[in-house]
Amino acid sequence: KNEVEQSPQNLTAQEGEFITINCSYSVGISALHWLQQHPGGGIVSLFMLSSGKKKHGRLIATINIQEKHSSLHITASHPRDSAVYICAVRSGRAGNQFYFGTGTSLTVIP
């Protein structure tokens, strides 16, 4: 079993739709990160969370530490949001290793 599970694996939405990507993890963490990777591109950090909720523009990320669950929401989705979204957790153990989900591939259709 993977330490980090994401759902859905693939998601297609019409422009303007509200999108939710879910992430569950099974290890103790010091922080959870949401990352974005455009096709053929690099990986950029969207959010780092250790509790509660964060908002940046149309993106909102929440985390429930007790339930070991996080969600990434995109409001008023746009074709430029098409990318792979990756959930990563930073282990609280020595070495501070990261565990990654396999990503959610989002396609937003105009």
With respect to another protein, which residue has the nearer C-beta, 17 or 90?
A: 90
Position 7 contacts another protein (CB under 8 A) = no
Is 68 among the residues that bind another protein (CB under 8 A)? no
Asked if residue 102 binds another protein (CB under 8 A), the reply is yes
- 31 burial (CB, 10 Å; 0-12 / 13-18 / 19+) is middle
Which residue type occupies 12?
T
CB 77 within 8 A of CB 108: yes
Q: Which of 7, 12, 26, 45 binds another protein (CB under 8 A)?
A: 45
Do the bridges between strand 104-109 and strand 83-91 make them parallel or antiparallel, or are there none, so unpaired? antiparallel
Give the interface with another protein as residue ranges (CB under 8 A): 2, 30-31, 33, 35, 41-45, 48, 50, 86, 88, 90, 92, 95-98, 100-103
